[in-house]
C-alpha cells in the first residue's frame, strides 16, 4: 500500500543563522526544559545569546541534543560522556574532511 502524497508540503530551512528559544528547542527535540538546562551545564549546548528575556540556541543544538539522547538511550552514556563523545565526533569530522581533501 504505497500512498502517494501529491501535495508538496511547505518547508522551512534551518540553517546556521537559525536560532531556537528554549521552548522551541524543547518542542523540536521533544524534551523538557530541565534536560536542556542539564545539557547547558555539561557544555553540550551553548546558548548563542539572548533574545529579549529568552535564551536562544544555535541550530546545531538540535543535532547535539538528538545525538546525546541517542547515546544515553542506546549506549548508557551519561551527560559527561556524551559531551566528550560529541567533541570527539566533531574532531573526527574535521579530520575526515581534511583527509578527504588530501587523499583524492
Partner 1 sequence: MGVARDATQDEIKRSYRKLARKYHPDVSKEADAEARFKEVGEAYEVLKDPEKRAAYDQLGKQWKSGEEFRPPPDWDAGFEFRGGGYTAGDAGAHSDFFEELFGRGYAGPGGTQHRRAFRMRGDNHHAKVLIDLEDSFNGATRSISLRMPELTEDGHVTTRNRTLSVRIPKGIRPGQQIRLAGQGGPGLGGAESGDLYLEVEFTRHPLYRVDGADVYLDLPVTPWEAALGANIKVPTPAGNIDLKIPANSMQGRKLRVKGRGLTGKQPGDLYVVLQLTLPPADSDTARNLYKQMQEQLDFNPRAAMGVS
Q: What residues line the site for partner 1 (CB under 8 A)?
A: 1-16, 27-32, 59, 62-63, 66-67, 69-71, 73-75, 85, 89, 92, 96-97, 100-101, 104
SS3 state of residue 56: strand
Residue 28 corresponds to which cell in the numbers above?
523540536
Shortest CB 55 distance to partner 1, Å:
17
Q: Which is nearer to partner 1, 5 or 53 (CB)?
A: 5
Cβ atoms of 86 and 68 closer than 8 Å:
yes
Shortest CB 41 distance to partner 1, Å:
19
SS3 state of residue 55: strand
Shortest CB 62 distance to partner 1, Å:
7
Pick from 20, 13, 53, 16: nearest CA to 36 = 20
Amino acid at each position: 500500500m504505497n500512498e502517494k502524497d501529491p501535495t508538496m508540503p511547505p518547508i522551512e530551512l534551518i540553517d546556521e543563522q537559525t536560532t531556537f528559544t528554549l521552548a522551541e528547542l524543547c518542542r523540536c527535540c521533544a524534551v523538557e526544559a530541565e534536560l536542556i538546562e542539564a545539557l547547558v551545564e555539561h557544555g553540550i549546548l551553548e546558548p548563542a545569546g539572548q533574545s529579549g528575556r529568552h535564551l536562544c540556541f544555535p541550530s546545531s543544538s538540535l543535532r547535539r541534543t538528538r545525538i546525546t539522547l541517542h547515546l544515553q538511550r542506546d549506549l548508557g552514556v551519561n551527560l559527561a560522556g556524551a559531551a566528550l563523545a560529541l567533541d570527539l565526533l566533531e574532531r573526527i569530522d574535521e579530520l575526515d574532511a581534511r583527509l578527504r581533501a588530501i587523499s583524492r
